[in-house]
Structure 1
Amino acid sequence: MRQDEVYSALVDDPLIIQFGQVLIKQLGPRRTNYVSQRMRQLARLKTKINELLNKENDLHCYITPKHFDTVVKAVQDLAGYHQNEQKISVFSTPSLALNLGHNLVKVAEIRRGNAIRKMDETMKKECDGYLEIHSSDWAPAVSSVALATLQTNKFNKPLALPVTSDLVLLKNHLDEQISELTKDLEKEGENATLWKKLAGAAMTRIILFNKRRSSEVSKLLCASYENRQNWEETMNEEIASGLKPMEKILLKRLHMVETQGKQNKRCPVLLTETMIIALDCLMKHREGCGISSSNPFVFASPTSASNHIDPWTSMNRLAKEAGCEQPYLISSSRLRKYLATVCQILDLEDHELEWVSRHLAHNINTHKQHYRQHDATVEIAKVGSLMMAADEGQLRKFAGKKLSDIDVTELVLPLEDGEDGELIDSGVNEEDILDAELCGPIPIPKTQKISTGAHKVEDQDAGLSYQNQHVNRKRKVAFNAEIDQDSYEEDEDYVPSDNESSEEPSCTTLPSKRKKWTVDEENVLRFEFNKNFKDKNIPRNAEALKVKNKYKFLADRNIHQIKSKVQHMLRRK
């Protein structure tokens, strides 16, 4: 703490010292700067009250009902209480007025506790009286004015956010720096300068990717990183089974470590493979680069046994090195506002908005938190998709889409050995999979010769393609529990039209290329099957055939393609 006049007024006051000790017990030694700030606020208040009363008393002498008005006057003087041009009462520093109100309540409670321990009824009555009058008279005199001032100060002020091109430029620069510094540190081993540069670059990259508060990343503990779980092994099977193929790959690609945030909240931090390699390198060479063994932080300061590298200094320096046009706009708080702002172009559902809010450690409507569970699988697969799109500066491409519709296939690194890219690389999408579900399993050899004139094609996955194009009309369809299962019974009244053969198609022809559904076709299905959408069931064969014959532009669709499309629209609804 800076030793000045405020420090002298603080150190000799037992109540302010006790106030600081209580906060340290509550918040821990990691928040010492915050605690010292609040103690200095009380010391300034005590000095101002003594000036008004021309006395030299300690703070506890003024925690009484008779001195309440003097305390209010001192707070108003410190926070710059005045009337503006419109004759409205405002504060020059409204946050100071609000903080002093919280501090005074805490001090009064501490003094009352002391009175109870000493069995001093007089002191206890003074504290009770002060707290009672504070609860009734403080708001109209101080806090209401301060809150109104905070709101009006935001009027006509543009929200300066980072430029997307700058963020992409910084991201590319950080990736290069991390790759080079990791290789150099592995070669040299004992180099404190290289270690600090790599730590700063890795920390900045994690903040940039996750859009987290800088303190949450910079204070990541070695124990938290080393003891992180393998979320792929412990994930909820029910949730994982409903993920898209791309999201399942994200579960393998992204790692997650949990750290402590504000108000002891759980803060998930997503890590890519590149980040993991860099962090493992930092952990490996800590001792050789002179990092104190007593320093608990992953991004430890080489010159301190208890502090971490300053995140803002590292981020600002690296932004300038990357050649960003407006490096001063790149900070963790603005990154969070940037993500929250650009997410408005997406059509996020309530639960998707909650996922993003929880990732940012924001508060959303309290009632939503009572009946929705945020699983680690959702954090990595769903929120990870959003983070990757934002990290690449490509969120604008997904304007108007739901979080579940964001496809980051083209943003992800090439598939690695052992990863299942079958459904991604083959161009099969969710509608194709639904077609296969409607068909049910059809016994076809794994390797199938298909004749096409003078050429022969050997297709290892012919069974899957066949299922996507052809159907078994008498097979019941499995859908989710919300849809009426009775609607999938065999339709005995169905009679194939002249355009449709009742025989199963031959396996000796190649499946036709899938035709994309147009907006007009989808609108017709919504109109004709309005009752089915309300009841959440799939139309029967006869109903689908009736709609097919009614509209000429559906002539190229068979009834099973129509039913499959309706089922897909029901799931998407």
Structure 2
Amino acid sequence: MGYYSAKNLWRHRKQCDANPEKGSSGKRSQALGQTLLLGNIKVDIELKVKVFPRMRPDKVSLVAKNDKLICAFASRYLKLHRELHFVQVVSRKMRELARLLMEIKKLDLSVVTLFDALKPHKYDILVKATKLTSGYDDESQTYKSPTYAMNMGTTLKQCCDVALLHVLKKSKSLPTVDNANVEADIKTCIQLIEANWRFDISTNAANDLNLKKWNKVTLVPLATDLKLLKDYLMKVAANQVSMLQKNPSNEKAYTSLLETVYCRLLLLNRRRPGELQRLPIHVYKSAISEEHNQAYEEFSEAITETERILMRSFKRIVIRGKRGRGVPVLISKDVQDHLNLILECRDNIQTVSNIYLFGKPNSQEPIIGYKVIKKYASLCQAKNPHALTSTRLRKHLATLTQLFNMSENDMEQLASFMGHTLGIHRASYRLPDDVYQTARLSKILTLMEKGEAGHFKGKSLDEINLNLDENLISEAQQDDNHPEPLCQYEDIQEPHPDPESQQVDITLPKKKSRVLVPWTEDQKNLVLVHFGNHIKSKRAPKKAECDNLIASHTELLHNKDWLKIKVFIQNQYRKKK
């Protein structure tokens, strides 16, 4: 055994006789070297083999690996979540607890391990350390990491459960007064966290998190950007297919085709990137080889011809989604052809065992989905590439479906397809609140402000039309300094003055003089009779209605335009108030 510089450790590993892969420096040399510093600490072997090598080799990781309670908590969490990608989650939770322990040690020098901090009289230290770790600001009473502060309460309770289990096992073999006292302290600590943590941490952190979300700008992918991305993916895929057909061992073309197929499936199905990137290859092969359409022949009459064609055009496979839910993935025929080519060339490229369909070449890991979609969103020259993320694509799908008249059953099917419940779909994946409240609910508020809500009795929000365009035109054409009088005369501006008079007007500004053209009795009678119902309901006529009246009585209304007729009608029912 010997000590080496962290930067030069890879060189020693390359020539070390104890290295089973002598001649290769490998990866994570510093992480493996840090694990050797732990000595013979009793840790779950699965945790030591799977999680420790993936942890960043710094002081935080060393504290986490040295603490028995943190390791026991991580071991139990790893047993509960058997999927390979949860190794990263376990590593993150261990480091969160280690950072908390480091702050506790600064506040109380008597604390050596996390187990020492789980006592009732140290509850205030736990609260203070959590605030320091999550970046709490006393002046603004806000958190830099409110999610960390909210989750730490649950994590500490789970640590108390693990510690209590350890004490109970120990007390059965050798019951003592000390064990009973420790057991009572841990139970009391759990009660304190359950009773007071929400008042000290969780409520403020949740309010802070919600406050930051309220005025956050909602980015939605542009339709033009989606088309650009799809066209670019198809263009790249076509080039890589031709290259692979010429040279099946072309690793660069293989990787590019794999990434474009992944992006196309993500774009079509709006899946979470982690769900799709971890698609096992045996699941795809078994699903493609089976024929499902024959099982639904009795339902062929219940669907349209278009839907029958779509059923023949797409293959459906089910993969594991969030919280163990099964979520479907639809695969078009051209994507199936590309995947078949990938499988044909896979043995030439993939030299190590990889269980994933979208596995990295010469690696046991899958591709990193969010990085791939980010890469091609930038390459396709989209106007707003930051909006082309998986989360925003999922929100985009749920938002646009509100344009259709979908039944409750259709909404449930959509929520099931997206891999969440109907309640989550309505709360998080619907039209953004800022759009809905500004564009739709403002109709109701505007009508109530004008006192015209009763005119639209029994109508839906989609059927309400406020004619805001005409009101804006009317306001724009009215002179700011001369509001429209409640009379039966209209304004006609004088012709443009000559340059000399115009120059005088600039030096000595004057108010514009107006020539009032009175309405004749015939004009008034015609307009009053034609728009009698509008006056009774106190509703201004529309532009098209005024134009139709002028077209049918051109000679009589030769000096009136639609705007003057509209203002005349407005003046009539306003005078009756």
Normalised by the shorter chain, which TM-score bucket? 0.5 to 0.7
SS class of match (1:307) = coil
Answering whether residue 357 of structure 2 is matched by residue 260 of structure 1, we say no
Deviations 1:468-515 (A, max 9, x none): xxxxxxxxxxxxxxxxxxxxxxxxxxxxxxxxxxxxxxxxxxxxxxxx
Share of identical aligned residues, percent?
25
Partner of residue 112 from structure 1, selected from 164, 182, 186: 164
Give the whole-Å Cα distance in 1 for the aligned partners of 2:168 and 2:300: 55
- Gaps spanning 5+ residues in structure 2: where? 1-54, 173-178, 427-461, 463-577
Judged with a 3 Å threshold, the aligned counterparts in structure 2 of structure 1 residues 100 and 248 are, in CA distance, closer, same or farther, namely same
Give the whole-Å Cα distance in 2 for the aligned partners of 1:239 and 1:122: 67
SS class of match (1:154) = helix
Aligned to 1:96: 148
Judged with a 3 Å threshold, the aligned counterparts in structure 2 of structure 1 residues 58 and 209 are, in CA distance, closer, same or farther, namely same
1:240 Cα shift? Answer: 4.7
Give the whole-Å Cα distance in 1 for the aligned partners of 2:310 and 2:105: 62
1:236 Cα shift? Answer: 4.7
Answering whether residue 74 of structure 2 is matched by residue 15 of structure 1, we say no
Aligned to 2:113: 58
Give the whole-Å Cα distance in 2 for the aligned partners of 1:76 and 1:83: 10
1:163·1:326 contact (CA, 8 Å) conserved in 2?
yes
1:70 Cα shift? Answer: 1.4
1:231·1:256 contact (CA, 8 Å) conserved in 2?
no
Give the whole-Å Cα distance in 1 for the aligned partners of 2:192 and 2:324: 32
Query: Which structure has the higher relative contact order (CA within 8 Å, separation 6+)?
Result: 1
Aligned to 1:341: 399
Give the whole-Å Cα distance in 2 for the aligned partners of 1:234 and 1:114: 56
Aligned to 2:98: 43
SS class of match (1:267) = strand
Q: TM-score, normalised by structure 1?
A: 0.60
Give the whole-Å Cα distance in 1 for the aligned partners of 2:296 and 2:154: 42
Partner of residue 251 from structure 1, selected from 311, 316, 321: 311
Partner of residue 353 from structure 1, selected from 371, 394, 411: 411
Aligned to 2:333: 273
Tell me the number of residue pairs that the alignment of Structure 1 and Structure 2 aligns.
364
Give the whole-Å Cα distance in 1 for the aligned partners of 2:67 and 2:302: 61
For residues 389-538 of structure 1, the aligned pairs below 5 Å read none
1:184 Cα shift? Answer: 2.5
1:267·1:361 contact (CA, 8 Å) conserved in 2?
yes
Answering whether residue 337 of structure 2 is matched by residue 282 of structure 1, we say no
Answering whether residue 249 of structure 2 is matched by residue 190 of structure 1, we say yes
Q: Which amino acid is 1:207 matched to? A: L
Give the whole-Å Cα distance in 2 for the aligned partners of 1:66 and 1:239: 67
1:56 Cα shift? Answer: 4.6
Judged with a 3 Å threshold, the aligned counterparts in structure 2 of structure 1 residues 226 and 124 are, in CA distance, closer, same or farther, namely farther
Q: Which amino acid is 1:357 matched to? A: A
1:112·1:127 contact (CA, 8 Å) conserved in 2?
yes
Give the whole-Å Cα distance in 1 for the aligned partners of 2:209 and 2:157: 21
Give the whole-Å Cα distance in 2 for the aligned partners of 1:212 and 1:134: 37
Q: Which amino acid is 2:344 matched to? A: K
1:224 Cα shift? Answer: 1.1
1:64 Cα shift? Answer: 2.2
Deviations 1:131-167 (A, max 9, x none): 2221111111111111111111112221012211011
1:234 Cα shift? Answer: 6.0
Aligned to 2:233: 174
Answering whether residue 223 of structure 2 is matched by residue 148 of structure 1, we say no
Q: TM-score, normalised by structure 2?
A: 0.60
1:201 Cα shift? Answer: 0.7
Aligned to 1:242: 302
RMSD of aligned C-alpha atoms? Answer: 2.2
1:116 Cα shift? Answer: 2.4
1:237 Cα shift? Answer: 5.3
1:162·1:335 contact (CA, 8 Å) conserved in 2?
yes
Give the whole-Å Cα distance in 2 for the aligned partners of 1:345 and 1:129: 54
Give the whole-Å Cα distance in 1 for the aligned partners of 2:90 and 2:256: 30
Give the whole-Å Cα distance in 2 for the aligned partners of 1:103 and 1:240: 52
Deviations 1:331-354 (A, max 9, x none): 111111221222222222222111
Q: Which amino acid is 1:314 matched to? A: V
1:129 Cα shift? Answer: 1.8
1:84 Cα shift? Answer: 5.8
- Gaps spanning 5+ residues in structure 1: where? 369-399, 401-573
1:291·1:300 contact (CA, 8 Å) conserved in 2?
no
2:104·2:111 contact (CA, 8 Å) conserved in 1?
no
- Higher-Rg member (1/2): 2
For residues 190-339 of structure 1, the aligned pairs below 5 Å read 190-228=249-287, 230=290, 232-233=292-293, 235-236=295-296, 239-292=299-352, 294-304=353-363, 306-339=364-397
Judged with a 3 Å threshold, the aligned counterparts in structure 2 of structure 1 residues 164 and 125 are, in CA distance, closer, same or farther, namely same
SS class of match (2:221) = coil
Deviations 1:200-228 (A, max 9, x none): 11111111111111111111111111111
Judged with a 3 Å threshold, the aligned counterparts in structure 2 of structure 1 residues 10 and 163 are, in CA distance, closer, same or farther, namely same
SS class of match (2:422) = coil
Give the whole-Å Cα distance in 1 for the aligned partners of 2:274 and 2:294: 28
1:68 Cα shift? Answer: 1.7
2:315·2:331 contact (CA, 8 Å) conserved in 1?
yes
Judged with a 3 Å threshold, the aligned counterparts in structure 2 of structure 1 residues 239 and 66 are, in CA distance, closer, same or farther, namely farther
Give the whole-Å Cα distance in 1 for the aligned partners of 2:59 and 2:212: 31
SS class of match (1:10) = helix
Structure with a larger share of its residues in helix: 2
